[in-house]
Amino acid sequence: MNDQHGTPTRRRFLQAATAAGIIGVAGCNTPGDGGNETDTETNGNGGSEGSGPEQIGSGQSPFGSRELSGVPMSEMPDLEGELTLYSGRGEALVGELVGFIEDLYPNFTVRPQYNSAAELVNQIDIEGDNSPADVFYSVNAGALGALADMDRTQSLPQEVLDFVPQNFRAPDGSWIGTSGRARSVPYNTDTFSASDIPDSIMAFPETAAFEGELGWAPTYSSFQAFITAMRILEGEDATREWLSGMQELGVSQYGDEFQIARAVADGEISAGLTNHYYIQRVLARRGESAPLSTAFTQNDAGAVFNVAGACVLDTAEDSTLAANFVRHLLSAEAQDYFARTTFEYPLVPEIEPIGRLPTIDELNPPEDLDLSQLSDLETTIDLLRETGVL
Amino acid sequence: MATEHRTTADDEGGEESGLPLGVSVAAAAVAAAVLLPVLWLVKTGLDVGFDEAVALLTRPTTLEVFLNSTILVALTTAACVLIGVPLAYLTVRTDLPFRRFWTIVVSLPLVIPSYVGAFAFVSAFGPQGGFQRLLAPIGIERIPEIYGLEGSVLILTLYTYPYVYITARAALKSMDTTLIDAARTLEHDRWETFKRVTIPQIRPAVAAGALLSGLYVLADFGTPSIMRYDVFTRVIFVEFGTFGRDTATLLSLQLVAVTLFILWLESRVRGEERTTAGGRSRTAVSLGLWRYPAMGFAALVAGLALVVPIAILVSWLGTASATVNQSLAFEWGYALNSVTVAAAAAAVAVVAGLPVAYLSARHDGLLPTAFERISYVGYAVPGVVLGLALVFFGSQYATPIYQTLYLLVFAYVIRFLPQSVGSLRASFLSVDPALPEAARTLGQTSAGAFRYVTLPLVAPGLFGGAALVFLTTMKELPATLLLRPSGFTTLVTHIWTAYESGYFGQAAIPALVLLFVSGLSMLVILRQEGYDVK
C-alpha cells in the first residue's frame, strides 16, 4: 500500500488505502461519535444486514461481506456447558460476538460479567479461590500480565497458542492476544500535513509547531504502557526528560483518548497521542471531510503494538471448555468481527484489517520489545508522578 | 413554640443510660453493618508500607490535587445551597404555579449520572462544541472556557443541588408556619422573618443536604476527569488502574478521614437545633408578578441540567441508530430492573435509617452521635472501593448471596444510608417531643405513640429520604457493575455500556427512560407524602 503523497515511508497512512478494496470505508458497525456531522458512512459492500449464522463455514463473514480465510468456528471443537466470562471489553463491542458463539451451540451458556479490566483484575484477585470466573477477556496485555504475575492463570494448549505469532502471546502461554492496537499520532489536517509529524516520538518535545497544540491522557492504561515502553527502550533519564519537555510544550491533559481524537478533529488541539482505533471511530462517524488523519512514528515507543487478549483462570471449572472458548475468539469469524466492529488489527495472519489502516506488516513497531515487559506499570507511575504528570 | 428540648431530654434521661434498648440495639446493628466494609479497607490499607504511604501522601502533586478537591467541594456545596434552598422555598412556601410539576422536575437532575452531564456539556459548550459552531457565523470566535474549576463547579452543582433541595423541602414541609405568622405580626418584613424564623428551623436539613452534595463531589472521579480538573480521586483511580489496590484503599481511608472532618464541620454549622410543634402549615406566600421570574429560575436550572444532556444525546441518536449492533438494543426489562432494586434499596434504607435518626435526634451522648456519624462512612468511600470491599465479604463469607440482588441491595443501602438518615433526623428534630408524650398520657404505648403521632409528622422526611435513596440508586454504577448478578442490566449499566464504547447516541433512549421512570416514581412518592401530611 502506498502513501498518497508518494513519500517512501509506509508509516503514514492516507485516504487512498482502502484496505485492499475489501471494504470501501470503515464502519458498518461503527461506534458512534458525537458532533453534528452527517453520517456519510455506509456499509462498503452493502448487504451485511441479515447475514446470520447459516453462513458459518462458507468462508463468508457472518458480520459483513467478505470472503474469509483462517479457521472457521465450524472446524473448532463444540462448546458445551456453562462458562463465566469476566470481560473488560465492553458489551457494546464484544457482546454480539459472545452472543453469536453462544447461539451456535444448543447446550452452551455464557454468564458474562462486564466491567473495566482493572476492576475485574482486582475482583478476581479478591475473590481468590472462590472466584466464579472461568475466562478473563482483557483490553490490554497489562491486565493479563498482572493476573499471570498473581499466578491466577492456566497455560493455554499449544494448538490454541499457535493461532497467533509468538510476539502476540505470553512466552509461558498464560495468555494470548486476540486483536491488536497500535499507538499512533492523530493530527488535524487543516493544521499539519503528514510531513510535519516527526518520525521519532523522542523529537516531539523539540518540535516548535507542537507548542500548545498536543493532547495526551496520562490516566489511560495504554498511555502508561507507552511510557513503560519508552522507559525500556530509551532509559529512565531520557523518558523523564521527554515528559518534562512535553510539559514545557504545554501539552493538554484529557480524561481518555477518544476525547483526544475528537478534540483533534474539532481543532481544539492539532495533534495527540492515542491508540489507532480511536481515530478510526471518529472518522467512521464524521466521514471523509473530517480533518483528521493518522501518523505513526517508527521503531520507537510511539509505535508500540499492544494486544487485547484472553486467559483461562486457575479457578476455571472446565479448563477445556474455557480454552476452547478462547480458541473461538481466534476463529476467522471472530477475527473479522474485531476488524469490523472495533477497527482493531486481527492477530491471526490470514485476516486483513478494515478501515483506512496500513496492514500489520506495514507498521513499524519497536523491535526487541516483549509485550509482557509492559506490565511493570509501577515504575512508570512513579516516574509520571515524579515529573508531575500525574 | 420553639423550645430547646434537648436539655430536657438530658435532664430526664441522664445521658446514655436513658437510651431505649430496642432502638439502640437496632441502631447499633445498622452501624455495625456499615462498618463491615471499612474493616476490609483498614485491613487492606495497612498492607501498604508506612514509608511508601507517607511518601505518596506528601508528594507535591498529592497536596495540590488535595487542595483542588477542597476548593471544588467548598464552591460546589455553597452553590448547591444557593440553588437548592430558594427552589425548595418556592415550591413549598409560595403560590408558584404548577408546584408539583416543578417539584419533580427540579429533583430529577439527581438521576442523571454527572459524567453524562459533563460529557454533554463539553460537547455542547466546549471550545469547538456545537454551541460554538452555532455562534461562529455571527462572529463569536470564543465562548467562555468550560474546562477547569468553573466548569466542574457548574456541572457538579447542577447534578447535586437536589440533595439540598429535597432535604430543605422536607424541612419546610414539616415546619410550623404559625411562627412565621407570629413574626409577621411583630412587624418583621418577609426577609427578616425568613432570616430569623425559617433559616434556623431548616438549618439542620440544609446542612444535611449540603453534606450529601459535598461528600458526593469529594468522592467523584468521572466529572472532574472529563472537565479536565485534577482532583484527589484521580490518585486513587490511577492506583486502581495499575493494580495498586493497597495504596488505592489507603487513599480511600484518607477520604474517610476528610469526611470525618467535614462531618465535624457540619455538626458545627448545624448549630443550635430546635424542635417545634410541626405539621401546621397554612398560608402560602403570594408571589404576585414575581411568579414569572421564579418559574424562569426553576426552568433555567432544570433546563440546563436536563434538557442540555438529553438534547445532545438525542441529536446523536439520529446519526447512530442505523448501524448499531444488537447488544445495544434497548429492553424495557432494564427499566424494571432499575426500579426494583432502587425501590428495595429505598425501603430498606428508610427502615434501617429510622432507629439511627431517631436516636440521634432524641438523645445526646456518644453512642447516638457515633451511630449517626458512622452511617456516613459508606457514602464517603468511592463506590468502586465499597464495591470491592463487598466483593471480599460476599465471595469469602456470604457465597450464597454473592452476585445476587440481595448483596447488591445491601451495597446500595450501605452507600446511601446517610441520605435517609439525614433527611429523617432533620424531621425528627422538628417534632415536638411533647406531642408523643401527650399521646402516651392518653393511653398509647410508646410504639403506638410513634406510629400514630411521630411517624405522620416525620413523613415528609421519610419520603424525602426514600426519594433520595431511590433516585441515587437509579444512577449508581460502580458497585452495581461489581456486584450485579450475571446478565443483570439496569438503565444505568446500559447507559454506561453505550457511553464507554463510544456509542453516545445509544445512551439517549435509556437516559430518557431513566428520567421518565424516575419522574413517575417521584409522583408516586409525592402522592404518598400528600396523604400523610395535613
Cβ separation of A32 and B482 shorter than 8 Å? no
Q: Give the nearest chain A residue to B315 (CA atoms).
A: A36
Q: How far is CA A203 from the centre of its chain?
A: 25
Contact B438, B57 (CB under 8 A): no
Closest Cβ–Cβ partner in B399, B493, B504 for A130 = B399
Over residues B148-196, the pLDDT tens digits come to 899 999 999 999 999 999 889 988 887 777 777 777 777 778 788 888 8
- pLDDT of residue A272 exceeding 90, the answer is yes
Closest Cβ–Cβ partner in A32, A38, A95 for B504 = A32
Percent of chain B with pLDDT over 70: 87
Q: Give the nearest chain B residue to A40 (CA atoms).
A: B319
Cβ separation of A92 and B315 shorter than 8 Å? no
**Residue ranges of A 110-169 with Cβ closer than 8 A to chain B:** 111-116, 118-119, 121-123, 125-128, 130-132, 143, 146
Which position has the higher pLDDT, A227 or B318? Answer: A227
The amino acid occupying position A49 is E
Cβ separation of B325 and A30 shorter than 8 Å? no
Q: What is the pLDDT of residue A151?
A: 95
Phi, psi dihedrals of residue B238, rounded to the nearest 5°: -60, -40
Q: Which of B16, B41, B43 is nearest to B380 (CA)?
A: B41
Percent of chain B with pLDDT over 90: 32
Q: How confident is the model at residue B380 (pLDDT cuts 50, 70, 90)?
A: confident
Q: What is the pLDDT of residue B280?
A: 54
Q: Helices then strands (H, E): number in chain A?
A: 11, 12
* A372 Cβ under 8 Å from any chain B Cβ: no
- Mean pLDDT, to the nearest integer, of A97-126? 94
Cβ separation of B61 and A388 shorter than 8 Å? yes
Q: How confident is the model at residue B138 (pLDDT cuts 50, 70, 90)?
A: low
Taking the CA of residue A151 and the nearest CA in chain B, the distance in Å comes to 14
Predicted ipTM > 0.95: no
Taking the CA of residue A87 and the nearest CA in chain B, the distance in Å comes to 11
- pLDDT of residue B522 exceeding 90, the answer is no
- pLDDT of residue B80 exceeding 90, the answer is yes
Q: Which of A170, A98, A121, A94 is nearest to A344 (CA)?
A: A94
Q: What is the pLDDT of residue B5?
A: 43
Closest Cβ–Cβ partner in A39, A254, A267 for B228 = A254
Q: How confident is the model at residue B385 (pLDDT cuts 50, 70, 90)?
A: confident
Task: Look at chain B and count its residues.
Answer: 534
Closest Cβ–Cβ partner in B123, B482, B501 for A34 = B123
C-alpha cell at B123: 460537547
Q: What is the pLDDT of residue B453?
A: 86
Residues 6+ positions from B341 with CB-CB distance below 8 Å: B405, B408, B409, B412, B473, B490
Q: Give the nearest chain B residue to A337 (CA atoms).
A: B325
Phi, psi dihedrals of residue B494, rounded to the nearest 5°: -70, -40
Over residues B496-507, the pLDDT tens digits come to 888 887 777 788
Taking the CA of residue B483 and the nearest CA in chain A, the distance in Å comes to 9
Residues 6+ positions from B116 with CB-CB distance below 8 Å: B309, B313, B495, B499, B507, B511
Which position has the higher pLDDT, B388 or B364? Answer: B388
Cβ separation of A253 and B228 shorter than 8 Å? yes
- Mean pLDDT, to the nearest integer, of B346-365? 93
- pLDDT of residue A238 exceeding 70, the answer is yes
Q: What is the pLDDT of residue B325?
A: 59
- Mean pLDDT, to the nearest integer, of B56-77? 87
Q: How confident is the model at residue B3 (pLDDT cuts 50, 70, 90)?
A: very low
Taking the alpha carbons at both ends of chain A, their separation in whole angstroms is 39
Cβ separation of B482 and A95 shorter than 8 Å? no
Q: What is the pLDDT of residue B318?
A: 64
Cβ separation of B228 and A255 shorter than 8 Å? yes
Helices (H), B326-404: 332-362, 366-374, 377-380, 383-397
- pLDDT of residue B41 exceeding 50, the answer is yes
Largest CA distance in chain A: 62
Cα(A31)–Cα(A28) distance, integer angstroms: 9
The three-point CA angle B343-B345-B348 to 5° equals 105
* A99 Cβ under 8 Å from any chain B Cβ: yes
Contact B16, B367 (CB under 8 A): yes
Cα(B346)–Cα(B237) distance, integer angstroms: 29
Cell 457472518 maps to which residue? A62
Q: What is the pLDDT of residue A47?
A: 33
Mean per-residue pLDDT of chain A: 84
Q: What is the pLDDT of residue B350?
A: 95
Residues 6+ positions from A90 with CB-CB distance below 8 Å: A114, B497, B500, B501
Residues 6+ positions from B408 with CB-CB distance below 8 Å: B341, B479, B480, B483, B484, B485
Taking the alpha carbons at both ends of chain B, their separation in whole angstroms is 19
Cβ separation of B312 and A92 shorter than 8 Å? no
Cβ separation of B501 and A385 shorter than 8 Å? no
- Mean pLDDT, to the nearest integer, of A86-108? 93
- pLDDT of residue A388 exceeding 80, the answer is yes
Cβ separation of A90 and B395 shorter than 8 Å? no
- Mean pLDDT, to the nearest integer, of B462-466? 89
Whole-angstrom CA distances from B200 to B206, B213, B274 are 10, 20, 8
Q: What is the pLDDT of residue A234?
A: 95
Contact A363, A299 (CB under 8 A): no
Over residues A6-31, the pLDDT tens digits come to 343 333 333 333 333 333 333 333 33
Q: Give the nearest chain A residue to B320 (CA atoms).
A: A32
Q: Which of A148, A143, A147, A145 is nearest to A125 (CA)?
A: A147
Q: Which of A152, A191, A159 is nearest to A174 (CA)?
A: A152
Closest Cβ–Cβ partner in B312, B391, B493 for A127 = B391
Q: Give the nearest chain B residue to A99 (CA atoms).
A: B327
**Which residues of chain B have a CB within 8 Å of the CB of A31?**
501-503
- pLDDT of residue A181 exceeding 80, the answer is yes
Q: Give the nearest chain A residue to B224 (CA atoms).
A: A255
Taking the CA of residue A340 and the nearest CA in chain B, the distance in Å comes to 11
Helices (H), chain A: 91-104, 117-127, 141-149, 158-161, 221-234, 236-248, 257-266, 276-286, 319-328, 332-341, 377-386
Q: How far is CA A13 from the centre of its chain?
A: 17
Q: What is the pLDDT of residue A248?
A: 95
Q: What is the pLDDT of residue A175?
A: 96
Q: How many CB pairs under 8 A join A and B?
A: 159
- Mean pLDDT, to the nearest integer, of B372-390? 88
Taking the CA of residue A2 and the nearest CA in chain B, the distance in Å comes to 30
* A254 Cβ under 8 Å from any chain B Cβ: yes
Cα(B109)–Cα(B160) distance, integer angstroms: 8
Q: What is the pLDDT of residue A3?
A: 38
DSSP element (H, E) containing B222:
helix B222-226
Q: What is the pLDDT of residue B61?
A: 76
**Which residues of chain B have a CB within 8 Å of the CB of A253?**
228, 230
Cα(A306)–Cα(A140) distance, integer angstroms: 7
**Residue ranges of A 312-351 with Cβ closer than 8 A to chain B:** 341
Q: What is the pLDDT of residue A41?
A: 31
Which position has the higher pLDDT, A157 or B278? Answer: A157
Cβ separation of B325 and A90 shorter than 8 Å? no
Mutate to test the interface with B, among A94, A121, A122 (most CBs of B within 10 A): A122
Q: What is the pLDDT of residue A137?
A: 97
DSSP element (H, E) containing A177:
strand A176-188
* A48 Cβ under 8 Å from any chain B Cβ: no
Cβ separation of B326 and A266 shorter than 8 Å? no
Which residues are bridge partners to A137 per DSSP? A87, A310
Which position has the higher pLDDT, B464 or B188? Answer: B464
Cβ separation of B324 and A29 shorter than 8 Å? yes
Over residues A324-340, the pLDDT tens digits come to 999 999 999 999 999 98
Taking the CA of residue A388 and the nearest CA in chain B, the distance in Å comes to 6
**Residue ranges of A 211-240 with Cβ closer than 8 A to chain B:** 219, 221, 224
Cβ separation of A36 and B500 shorter than 8 Å? no
Taking the CA of residue A117 and the nearest CA in chain B, the distance in Å comes to 8
Closest Cβ–Cβ partner in B328, B487, B498 for A111 = B487
Classify residue B127 as exposed, middle or buried by CB count within 10 Å of its CB (0-12, 13-18, 19+).
Answer: middle
Contact A186, A261 (CB under 8 A): yes
Cα(B38)–Cα(B519) distance, integer angstroms: 34
Q: What is the pLDDT of residue A54?
A: 36
Q: Give the nearest chain B residue to A114 (CA atoms).
A: B481
Strands A292-295 and A176-188: antiparallel
Strands A135-138 and A81-87: parallel
- pLDDT of residue B136 exceeding 70, the answer is no
- Mean pLDDT, to the nearest integer, of B311-339? 76
Over residues B225-284, the pLDDT tens digits come to 888 888 888 778 888 877 777 878 888 888 888 888 888 887 776 655 655 545 555 567
Q: What is the pLDDT of residue B131?
A: 65
Closest Cβ–Cβ partner in A92, A252, A378 for B242 = A378
**Which residues of chain B have a CB within 8 Å of the CB of A138?**
none
- pLDDT of residue A185 exceeding 60, the answer is yes
- pLDDT of residue B15 exceeding 50, the answer is no
Cβ separation of B228 and A252 shorter than 8 Å? yes
**Which residues of chain B have a CB within 8 Å of the CB of A280?**
none
* A43 Cβ under 8 Å from any chain B Cβ: yes
Q: Which of A343, A351, A345, A340 is nearest to A51 (CA)?
A: A340
- pLDDT of residue B59 exceeding 50, the answer is yes
Which residues are bridge partners to A114 per DSSP? A87
Q: Give the nearest chain B residue to A127 (CA atoms).
A: B395
Q: What is the pLDDT of residue B231?
A: 87
Q: What is the pLDDT of residue B54?
A: 81
- pLDDT of residue A176 exceeding 70, the answer is yes
- Mean pLDDT, to the nearest integer, of A69-93? 93
